[in-house]
A and B are shown apart, each in its own frame.
Chain A
Amino acid sequence: MRLEARTRRSRAALLLAPFAAIAFTLAVTMALVAWAGSPIGETYALLFAGGFGSRFAWTETLTRATPLVFTGLSVAIAFRARLWNIGAEGQLYAGALAAVAVGGLHGGTGFDLPAGVLFPAMLGASVLAGAILLLVPTFLRTRFGVDEVVTTLLLNFIVLLAVSMLLDGPMKDPAALGWPQSVALRDDLQLDKLVPRTRVHTGLVYAIVAAAILAFVVRATTLGFEMRAVGANARAAAFAGVPVARTMALVAVISGGLAGLAGAIEVAGRTGYVTLDMSPGYGYSGIVIAMLAGLSPLGVVAAAVFIAGVLVGADSMSRGVAVPTYIADVIVAVSLVSMLVATLFVRYRVRLR
């Protein structure tokens, strides 16, 4: 078997690829549903209805999609420059902690500033926290040649332990009875609801604006060009006069900052405080979302809504039939792998000798 680059890429194939990948994913996961002894048609109907089938389902899906857009953008921007940031999960928690540190109640004291000042400061702090967390591994890579995949992965575990420590100690909510939970964010710093009596909040608007800005940066600015150049071939970029280390650092600030922002927006829009389980792997899902979107910022929004719908739908489906919610994670993983293969077939022809 060998692969042959296609001289002409068909536009139809390019558009069809995601649908082929999703169809394949459904076929594979159907076998798992059947194994769990559940009727396939009913299970998928419940899953779809739970994710997209009603007004309530849509608001829940969009609520879940909000942090996923941020982590998806974080990964997409980093991967474009071949900065393998697998640490969005840790950066999210760092951002959430920073948000509460600035805008938290601290047992009734806290910063006595008007919300108009404190809100931007809170977002800024979360961006800074996420950015620093990614700048360290990026610096280790550009300066010492340490592979950032492993360092960012390991930092996730370190950050989670640090969060657990702070929730036991200085940031513990004295009112929470034994449950590890941080002090709450001030009420006037919490985001407004987008739709009354639902959980969907204005964080979604921030997420979409962020995606639009990044789409512009990627397509129409020098930075966007330099990022692509560094990703395509760092040595050639350096010869052409692109400041590689500085571009990498900028990418790290944007990528880490976006993941940090995901944490702040989650706290301000949904939870109101930091817990150890506030993110069920949003950072890791961000990788899948970025890949499904082909690293395109606007594509990230669509992919995030799709993944959020699957996650929310699986939660509601598992209450109806005996299929564990982990089916959602399987769907996400299989769709990543099949999307990889599908896009390859768009670019290459397979010759069986």
Chain B
Amino acid sequence: MLDIVSLVANAEFWSAVLRIATPLIFGTLGVLLCERAGVLNLGIEGIMVAGAFAGWLTVYQGGGLWSGVAVAAVTGAAFGLLHAFLTVSLALSQHVSGLGITLLATSLAYYAYRVSFPNVSTPPTIQPFAEMAMMPIPVLSSQTPLTWLALALVPALAWVLYRTPLGLALRMVGENPAAVEGQGIDVVRLRTFAVVAGSALMGVAGAFLTLSAFNAFYFSMVNGRGWICVALVVFAGWRPGKALGGALLFAFFDALQLRLSQQAGGIPYQIYLMVPYVLSIVALVVVARRATYPQALMKPWRKGER
């Protein structure tokens, strides 16, 4: 027990928590935005891969780090636009389309990587984002600007969702699209906007991995983080503030298992690696009974059809 206390009671540990939480914050906010507008986006896993690759490639080819982030966002938005076209304009199954986007984005990124680098055995590296050392705040000063951006996005998204007419319309279109239509607002356009914007955030979530957490692009580097974000949004009850809390709580346990597994002690390392996935399932079960899904989530809407 004392072991755990000494593990947790230092700034380095909390830096790791924030670092692990960052892609989850971006991804969770992205999923939240889509789902609040009534669209499930299972494309996240693949969009994160594509964002990670596109962002990294931009920097590798001489672009600035922020250009890399922008390219990752645009890449995510492009896949989001495809998902929105399929699920919103054509009202196809959100489950199947999302999985299709994941397969497509992942395979395109891997294909593009192999075409660009046919014969490399060790992945080429870039110079990633530096820490914000000039900010004299413990824990936060050891983070990169992307983590600061993620933390700033939480209140920003909450403000948009709860304090602006756009946010009201977004929340409404996820609950009752017919009512939105009655207000003279274009349901398809609004949902498409939400999915594109949310997917851009997912792209940035991927870019954090290659531009900040690591300095290269690896196969299967996203490794289920996207699916975990989908679970976290349910856990957070579709609220940005709680999403931040959920991501941090999750990252806390993930950082803890990393530390504990390094201390060894007879337990196979795979048990520790299972922790994040098991926790996500437990989180879903815990909140399932009182989860209030957006009423129109996964319900395709066709104009004039009831």
Give me the interface of A with B, judged by CB distance under 8 Å: 1-3, 5, 32, 35-36, 84, 86, 140, 144-147, 149-151, 153-155, 157-158, 161-162, 164-165, 168-169, 284, 287-288, 291, 322-324, 326-327, 329-330, 332-334, 336-337, 340-341, 344
Question: Which residues of A sit under 8 angstroms from B111, Cβ to Cβ?
Answer: 32, 324, 326-327, 329-330
CB distance from B270 to the nearest CB of A (A): 4
A-B contact pairs, 24 of them (CB 8 A): A1-B89, A35-B115, A144-B289, A145-B291, A149-B42, A150-B281, A151-B284, A154-B227, A154-B231, A154-B281, A161-B274, A162-B270, A162-B274, A164-B270, A322-B118, A324-B115, A330-B104, A330-B111, A333-B107, A334-B104, A336-B96, A337-B100, A337-B104, A344-B92
Complex: A154 Cα to B302 Cα, angstroms = 32
When the two chains form their complex, are residues A287 and B284 in contact, meaning their CB atoms are under 8 A apart? no
Which residues B277-306 have CB closer than 8 A to chain A?
277-278, 280-281, 284-285, 288-289, 291, 302-305
When the two chains form their complex, are residues A336 and B268 in contact, meaning their CB atoms are under 8 A apart? no
CB distance from B243 to the nearest CB of A (A): 15
Question: Which residues of A sit under 8 angstroms from B234, Cβ to Cβ?
Answer: 147, 150
Question: Which residues of A sit under 8 angstroms from B154, Cβ to Cβ?
Answer: none
The answer to whether B132 has its CB under 8 Å from any CB of chain A is: no
Contact of A332 among B107, B271, B273, B284 (CB under 8 A): B107
CB distance from A89 to the nearest CB of B (A): 12
Complex: A3 Cα to B271 Cα, angstroms = 50
Complex: A196 Cα to B67 Cα, angstroms = 58
Question: Which residues of A sit under 8 angstroms from B231, Cβ to Cβ?
Answer: 150, 154
Complex: A36 Cα to B111 Cα, angstroms = 9
Question: Which residues of A sit under 8 angstroms from B277, Cβ to Cβ?
Answer: 154-155, 157-158, 161
When C-beta atoms are compared, the residue in chain A nearest to B268 turns out to be A165
When the two chains form their complex, are residues A291 and B96 in contact, meaning their CB atoms are under 8 A apart? yes
Complex: A117 Cα to B277 Cα, angstroms = 38
Name 11 extra pairs, CB < 8 A, besides A36-B115, A340-B86.
A144-B288, A146-B288, A147-B284, A154-B224, A161-B273, A322-B118, A324-B111, A326-B110, A326-B114, A332-B107, A333-B103
Instruction: Categorize the interface residue count of chain B.
Output: 35 or more
Complex: A340 Cα to B271 Cα, angstroms = 39
The answer to whether B90 has its CB under 8 Å from any CB of chain A is: yes
Complex: A336 Cα to B165 Cα, angstroms = 37
Question: Which residues of A sit under 8 angstroms from B104, Cβ to Cβ?
Answer: 330, 333-334, 336-337
Instruction: Tell me the interface secondary structure of chain A in the complex.
Output: helix
Complex: A151 Cα to B282 Cα, angstroms = 10
The answer to whether B108 has its CB under 8 Å from any CB of chain A is: yes
When the two chains form their complex, are residues A337 and B86 in contact, meaning their CB atoms are under 8 A apart? yes
Given contacts A157-B277, A333-B103, contact A165 B270 (CB under 8 A): yes
When the two chains form their complex, are residues A329 and B106 in contact, meaning their CB atoms are under 8 A apart? yes
Question: Which residues of A sit under 8 angstroms from B97, Cβ to Cβ?
Answer: 337, 340
The answer to whether B158 has its CB under 8 Å from any CB of chain A is: no
Question: Which residues of B sit under 8 angstroms from A332, Cβ to Cβ?
Answer: 103, 107
Given contacts A84-B95, A149-B95, A341-B86, contact A336 B103 (CB under 8 A): yes
B258-284 interface bits toward A, Cβ cutoff 8 Å, 1 = contact, 0 = none = 000000000010110110011011001
Question: Which residues of B sit under 8 angstroms from A168, Cβ to Cβ?
Answer: 268, 270
Complex: A334 Cα to B268 Cα, angstroms = 40
Complex: A137 Cα to B98 Cα, angstroms = 20
When the two chains form their complex, are residues B228 and A154 in contact, meaning their CB atoms are under 8 A apart? yes
The answer to whether B99 has its CB under 8 Å from any CB of chain A is: yes
When the two chains form their complex, are residues A3 and B268 in contact, meaning their CB atoms are under 8 A apart? no
When the two chains form their complex, are residues B100 and A150 in contact, meaning their CB atoms are under 8 A apart? no
CB distance from A216 to the nearest CB of B (A): 26
Complex: A334 Cα to B277 Cα, angstroms = 29
Which residues B212-251 have CB closer than 8 A to chain A?
223-224, 227-228, 230-231, 234
Complex: A145 Cα to B290 Cα, angstroms = 10
The answer to whether B91 has its CB under 8 Å from any CB of chain A is: yes
When the two chains form their complex, are residues B230 and A150 in contact, meaning their CB atoms are under 8 A apart? yes
Complex: A36 Cα to B90 Cα, angstroms = 32
When the two chains form their complex, are residues B108 and A330 in contact, meaning their CB atoms are under 8 A apart? yes
Question: Which residues of A sit under 8 angstroms from B110, Cβ to Cβ?
Answer: 324, 326, 329
Question: Which residues of A sit under 8 angstroms from B270, Cβ to Cβ?
Answer: 161-162, 164-165, 168
CB distance from A263 to the nearest CB of B (A): 19
Complex: A337 Cα to B277 Cα, angstroms = 28
CB distance from B24 to the nearest CB of A (A): 14
Question: Which residues of B sit under 8 angstroms from A145, Cβ to Cβ?
Answer: 288-289, 291
CB distance from B229 to the nearest CB of A (A): 10
Complex: A340 Cα to B89 Cα, angstroms = 13
When C-beta atoms are compared, the residue in chain A nearest to B90 turns out to be A344
Contact of B284 among A36, A146, A323 (CB under 8 A): A146
Question: Which residues of A sit under 8 angstroms from B118, Cβ to Cβ?
Answer: 322, 324
Given contacts A150-B284, A168-B268, A327-B111, contact A333 B289 (CB under 8 A): no
Complex: A337 Cα to B106 Cα, angstroms = 14
Given contacts A154-B224, A340-B97, A341-B90, contact A165 B103 (CB under 8 A): no
When the two chains form their complex, are residues B281 and A151 in contact, meaning their CB atoms are under 8 A apart? yes
Question: Which residues of B sit under 8 angstroms from A36, Cβ to Cβ?
Answer: 115
CB distance from B120 to the nearest CB of A (A): 12
When C-beta atoms are compared, the residue in chain A nearest to B188 turns out to be A1
Question: Which residues of B sit under 8 angstroms from A326, Cβ to Cβ?
Answer: 107, 110-111, 114
Question: Which residues of B sit under 8 angstroms from A288, Cβ to Cβ?
Answer: 100, 103
